């Protein structure tokens, strides 16, 4: 099935390996953009970056079951593969890898990749204890299948980005990990596939996340170094919205993800908030 730019769609691991091997034989560099599909401008910004830095670009579209906990939205996670393919082709992607679960995880798959430090237990890991084990496992598998030179991840999932960088370092993957900036709607809301869950009233209420982020950035730019004061102000801003329920608002070391009291060095200020039943995340980074 060819689309513009003759984009190839592969459902089998061996197809991907064969194509990448052919490219590498020609001396071409390969970039990987791992996604769970239902793509938006945040994802296409990763593809654009990959196209600018690599000769060939592979995007995976796979809703990974191992990173969803019981009661999470695995079954309802939005999917629209046809739309994804049109978007990827328009942005210059060369190959889409769209395996089913059986292709990615054999019947008796029992091997996981897991970081055993405190790092994955912070932030999202507190309420999603198996999440990063699933992320590391699927990304590790994608790295082994595609063998990319560079891989591209969004800064919106800042903890995921930090965890993957740590995994790549610890397991000696010769892959450069490139984080790309958060892409926002015109009104400030960070783009997310889960935004589609929001009804009009909730969509309006969800702006409280970016408003809290912008408030935190403003306080930092005014010279506030006390993380506690910044987080308190952000929490108070969120609590003004009746539909919002805070999961966390935290300041952590940008590399280790461990909590900090002062804004010094690289600091990630991150939050997760439920708007109705939908859990949304946002963040900003302070470079020391």
Please choose, from the candidates 283, 47, 69, the residue with its C-alpha nearest in 3D space to the C-alpha of residue 182.
Answer: 283
Alpha carbon 8 to its chain's center = 24
Please choose, from the candidates 141, 128, 126, 134, the residue with its C-alpha nearest in 3D space to the C-alpha of residue 171.
Answer: 141
Enumerate the H helices of 54-157 as residue ranges.
81-90, 101-104, 124-127, 131-146
Q: Which of 40, 43, 83, 98 is catalytic?
A: 43
Please choose, from the candidates 192, 212, 213, the residue with its C-alpha nearest in 3D space to the C-alpha of residue 203.
Answer: 192
Is the distance from CB of 8 to CB of 19 less than 8 angstroms? yes
Contacts of 16 (CB under 8 A, 6+ apart): 10, 58, 95, 97, 145, 146
43 catalytic? Reply is yes
Is the distance from CB of 257 to CB of 159 less than 8 angstroms? yes
Q: What are phi and psi of 273, to 5 degrees?
A: -140, 135
Alpha-carbon gap, residue 248 to 253, rounded angstroms: 15
**Active centre residues (catalytic):** 43
């Amino acid at each position: 099935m060819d689309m513009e730019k003759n984009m190839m769609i592969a459902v089998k691991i061996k197809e991907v390996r064969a194509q990448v091997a052919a490219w590498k034989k020609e001396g071409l560099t390969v970039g990987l953009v791992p996604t769970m599909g239902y793509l938006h401008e945040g994802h296409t910004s990763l593809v654009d970056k990959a196209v600018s830095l690599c000769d060939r670009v592979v995007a995976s579209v796979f809703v990974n079951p191992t990173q969803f906990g019981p009661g999470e939205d695995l079954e309802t996670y939005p999917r629209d593969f046809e739309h994804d393919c049109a978007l990827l082709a328009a942005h210059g992607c060369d190959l889409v890898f769209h395996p089913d679960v059986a292709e990615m995880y054999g019947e008796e798959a029992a091997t996981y990749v897991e970081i055993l430090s405190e790092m994955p237990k912070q932030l999202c890991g507190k309420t999603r204890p198996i999440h990063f084990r699933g992320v590391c496992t699927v990304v590790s598998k994608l790295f082994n299948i595609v063998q990319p030179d560079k891989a591209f991840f969004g800064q919106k999932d800042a903890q995921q980005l930090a965890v993957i960088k740590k995994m790549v370092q610890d397991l000696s993957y010769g892959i450069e990990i490139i984080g790309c900036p958060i892409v926002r709607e015109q009104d400030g809301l960070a783009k997310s596939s889960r935004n589609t869950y929001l009804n009009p009233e909730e969509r309006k209420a969800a702006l409280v996340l970016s408003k809290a982020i912008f408030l935190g950035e403003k306080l930092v730019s005014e010279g506030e170094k006390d993380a506690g004061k910044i987080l308190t102000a952000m929490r108070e801003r969120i609590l003004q919205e009746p539909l919002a329920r805070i999961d966390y608002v935290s300041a952590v070391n940008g590399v280790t993800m461990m909590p900090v009291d002062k804004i010094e060095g690289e600091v990630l200020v991150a939050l997760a908030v439920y708007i109705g039943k939908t859990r949304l995340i946002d963040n900003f980074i302070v470079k020391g």
